Amino acid sequence: MDIDDNRVVVMHYRLSNGFGELIDSSSGGLPLVYMHNTNAILASLERELTGHGAGDSIDVTIYPEDGYGYADESLVQRFPRETLAELGELSVGMRVKVRGRAEDESRMATITALDEETAVLDRNHPLAGQVLHFAVAIVAVREPTEAELEAGEATSANPS
């Protein structure tokens, strides 16, 4: 069975950046399980996987414009540390949820710098601006269960 809309895909992957540095991998762990074309993974990666099947290995390179975009300097802001006191102990690299412009809006940000009085928060995606190399090994492709179709997402590699 080939990968197509709403099919459940079970795959192992290795993600590295444009310098060959490992960013993430499922090697030695559980495979990634997702429902195809439901925005569970990058659309550009889904396009490359479409039509492939179990047993296929694929190498995909995704440039920033097709991945997480380019970093936007307007999303990097300096805040007084006292305004972040509710977050507890702060450290560089820490991911925090911050309020957006709308009352019920929140976004994730990364603390990129700290000094005695201020913290620099970057709301860009951590992979913004990076070339991404995926090495994918497709383990299985199957039709979703009724429950998965209703939920709009895959629930397991092997449904009961």
Dump pLDDT digits (tens) for 17-32. Answer: 999 999 999 999 999 9
Between the alpha carbon of residue 144 and those of residues 8, 31, 94, 134, the distances in Å are: 6, 17, 36, 24
Single-letter amino acid code for the residue at 31:
P
pLDDT at residue 102, as a whole number: 67
Distances (CA, A) of 35 to 38, 50, 114, 121: 6, 12, 40, 33
End-to-end distance of the chain based on CA atoms, in angstroms? 19
In whole angstroms, give the CA distance from residue 106 to residue 82: 19
Query: Is there a contact between 160 and 142 (Cβ–Cβ < 8 Å)?
Result: no
Q: What is the pLDDT of residues 43-85, one digit of tens each?
A: 999 999 999 999 999 999 999 999 999 999 999 999 999 888 8
Enumerate domains of the chain plus CATH numbers: 8-68+128-151 (3.10.50.40), 74-122 (2.40.10.330)
Q: Give the pLDDT score at 160.
A: 61
